[in-house]
């Protein structure tokens, strides 16, 4: 009888923890998601360089130069035409590409991967072919508001040059889908990190190699959008961890490349 009661209590506790995780995850989705983000509506180029000008609510999310098929874009004001982005809550951190046109000329503007911009969950304008994780959205009225983007609460990890790869874990539970290769961006999402971090508001995320080599750790606040509180390198002269300015992201590199 005692064993049965113990089993029932254990099951109840397990269900309670699962319900708490579900409630916290739902609360984050409903209450803490950032406002919708959009590609800049237009870009003006002077014909002399790729450093064109545009206005955006979040200019720090976008690269400062544009891409053009002929090298330097022709002078003029280009209007938004379409965008390409990865599916919301993708396992990877990828840039968004916003495309603009004037006549038959096209240019593109890329978001910074550290910004973690993705397709907006609730919008049907984003189209995906088969099982592709990359969506496309176009606007016949040249209005970037037709292609909304959003960002979810994650820790972005940029492996600049570590040949062995980088993984992240919390309490010995892996929270990155796979090893982050050299030059790649990965991420630890809130939904995956929450069960590994447990009930604590403050969570230590360990940064290691796939073979267990320890690089350092990141302290995040799970109640504040996984906001980074501190970044620590075990041997900074060998492997350096540092936060990327203006972003909830870290870089991992050999220090002589930093």
What does the pLDDT look like over 216-254, one tens digit per residue?
999 999 999 899 999 999 999 999 999 999 899 999 999
Residue 229, pLDDT score: 97
pTM for the model:
0.81
Spatial CB neighbours of 142, under 8 Å, sequence gap ≥ 6: 79, 80, 81
Residue 257, pLDDT score: 60
Residue 10, pLDDT score: 42
How many angstroms separate the most distant Cα atoms in the chain? 83
Residue recorded with tokens 């049965």:
4
Ranges under pLDDT 50 in the chain: 1-33, 258
Residue 35, pLDDT score: 81
- Pick the closest to residue 216 from 168, 149, 255 (CA basis): 168
Strands (E) located in 27-91: 42-45, 62-68, 76-86
């Amino acid at each position: 009888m005692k064993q049965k009661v113990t089993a029932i209590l254990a099951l109840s506790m397990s269900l309670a923890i699962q319900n708490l995780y579900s409630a916290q995850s739902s609360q984050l989705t409903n209450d803490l998601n950032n406002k919708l983000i959009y590609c800049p509506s237009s870009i003006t180029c002077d014909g002399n360089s790729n450093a064109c000008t545009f206005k955006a609510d979040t200019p720090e999310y976008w690269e400062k130069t544009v891409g053009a098929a002929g090298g330097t874009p022709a002078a003029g004001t280009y209007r938004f035409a379409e965008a390409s982005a990865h599916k919301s809550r993708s396992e990877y951190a990828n840039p968004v590409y916003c495309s603009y046109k004037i006549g038959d000329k096209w240019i593109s503007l890329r978001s910074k991967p550290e910004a973690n911009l993705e397709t907006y969950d609730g919008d049907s304008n984003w189209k995906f072919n088969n099982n592709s994780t990359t969506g496309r959205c176009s606007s016949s009225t040249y209005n970037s508001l037709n292609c909304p983007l959003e960002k979810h609460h994650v820790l972005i990890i940029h492996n600049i040059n570590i040949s062995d790869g980088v993984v992240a874990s919390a309490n010995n539970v892996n929270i990155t889908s796979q090893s982050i290769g050299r030059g790649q961006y990965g991420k630890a999402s809130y939904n995956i990190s929450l069960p590994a971090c447990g009930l604590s508001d403050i969570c230590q995320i360990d940064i290691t190699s796939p073979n267990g080599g320890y690089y350092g750790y990141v302290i995040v606040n799970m109640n504040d959008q996984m906001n980074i509180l501190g970044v620590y390198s075990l041997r900074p002269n060998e492997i350096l961890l540092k936060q990327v300015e203006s972003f909830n992201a870290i870089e991992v590199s050999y220090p002589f490349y930093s």
